[in-house]
Amino acid sequence: MQTVGIDIGTTTISGVVLEKNGTQKPRILKAKTIENGSFLTTTKDWERIQDAEKIVKKSRQMLDDFLDEYPEVEKIGLTGQMHGIVYIDKEGTCVSPLYTWQDARGSLCEENNGSLTEEIQQTCNVQVASGYGIVTHIYNLRHHLIPDTAVSFCTIMDYFGMQLTGRKKAMVHASNGASFGFFNVQKNAFMTEELYKMGVEEQWLPQVCTRIEALGSYRERIVTTAIGGTGGQISVLSDQYFTAEGIEARPFLHGTYLLAGASLCGGKAYALLEKFFREFVKEATGQEKPLYKTLEKLAGDGKASCTGRENRKKLQIETTFDGTRVHPEQTGSITNLSTDNFTPAAFVYRTLEGMSRELYQMYQTIQNGTGMQIKRMIGSGNGLRKNPVLCEIVEEMFGAKLALAECEEEAATGAALSSMQQDE
């Protein structure tokens, strides 16, 4: 069987053509990644919105190219950036921009001098973060920002599925439904009573399914429900339900859960460091070029120079530059600077260490709450795949051998694999 997986990320759109024969491991026939490039300019510094129709156009072009080249493809699986929403009208047409997971309106101080997320916690005892779709929706309701023709909302990948199949109403997998907030993961249903307290009527909520369902067809291929996918996170597959501060239990397949903690900055921390050095080089030389190869060498040098230092002499970088889910106001920090460690190599190495430590602290919360021990650790994403020093840091910090996912473009590959389970 051949399937296509499309991953609509915040910065890139990726796709794969996957082939699976019997019990053999699936193999990628083709992979492609393009820039998303759809952020819209806004006068509000807290607003993070994208052009939904532009995203759909780029995603459809990628899919069409795959289908033209591989006519034997049978199914199409979808995934993408979680939490964000687009509004749709009764005809299933998008009538708003995509309000992304990075949107900060839920953290703004309201008239009562508290944020919307704080009000939700106090009123409903529900823990949500700014950028979660229903938080965005509540803010938009209160500030009259919802288009008059809107009747519901869904994720961008759900909307793409609607556009491919001609559906007028969204069908959202529980993994995406949970990402909106106000979702009872054990019951796989929205918390309608709590939502009513916040002024949200049930009619706004999309239909939720727990299995991989067929949405319809596109060019005579079955399109399946989009599944949730995200970056910069620690995920533990579990049969038991567990939540804690900063840890969510997300619905997975066959009644299991992903106990997940997500960093808001993630690999962006490393990209910020590269940008910092690149801007300096441009000012000094007049030339601008990517410096990731240089940073990779500096990371190796930093590992050699930083190993064995006492904690009091150890440079420490906290990479929470965009805050955290629990504390959005938190910032990053650099401490223990000295004449010995004020070097580019140390900064690169300790930034990688900070990225790993943020995820490890989330894993410790899961471990302490469940007693689960690492049996197998799998890494995915270009941050690990292209940075061997980061892999070494992760292995040392977690105390386990790290295996990289066999397939590149892991999210798109997962979407392609999920579509194969549609009949199961």
| DSSP line for 373-404 | --S-EEE-SHHHHT-HHHHHHHHHHHTS-EEE
The pLDDT value given to residue 309: 63
Mean pLDDT for 133-155 is: 97
Using CA atoms, how far apart are residues 135 and 119, in angstroms rounded to an integer? 11
Mean pLDDT for 160-169 is: 98
pLDDT, the chain, mean:
92
Banded model confidence at residue 140, pLDDT cuts 50, 70, 90: very high
Banded model confidence at residue 118, pLDDT cuts 50, 70, 90: very high
Using CA atoms, how far apart are residues 251 and 179, in angstroms rounded to an integer? 10
pLDDT tens per residue across span 256-292: 999 999 888 888 889 899 999 999 999 999 999 999 9
Instruction: Specify which residues 233 forms β-bridges with.
Output: 262
Using CA atoms, how far apart are residues 267 and 232, in angstroms rounded to an integer? 7
The pLDDT value given to residue 262: 86
pTM listed for this prediction: 0.84
pLDDT tens per residue across span 37-87: 999 999 999 999 999 999 999 999 999 999 999 999 999 999 999 999 999
Distances (CA, A) of 180 to 5, 267, 350: 23, 23, 34
The pLDDT value given to residue 195: 97
pLDDT tens per residue across span 223-259: 999 998 766 789 999 999 999 988 989 888 788 999 9
Q: At 355, is the secondary structure helix, strand, or coil?
A: helix
Distances (CA, A) of 262 to 6, 213, 248, 324, 362: 22, 27, 9, 8, 8
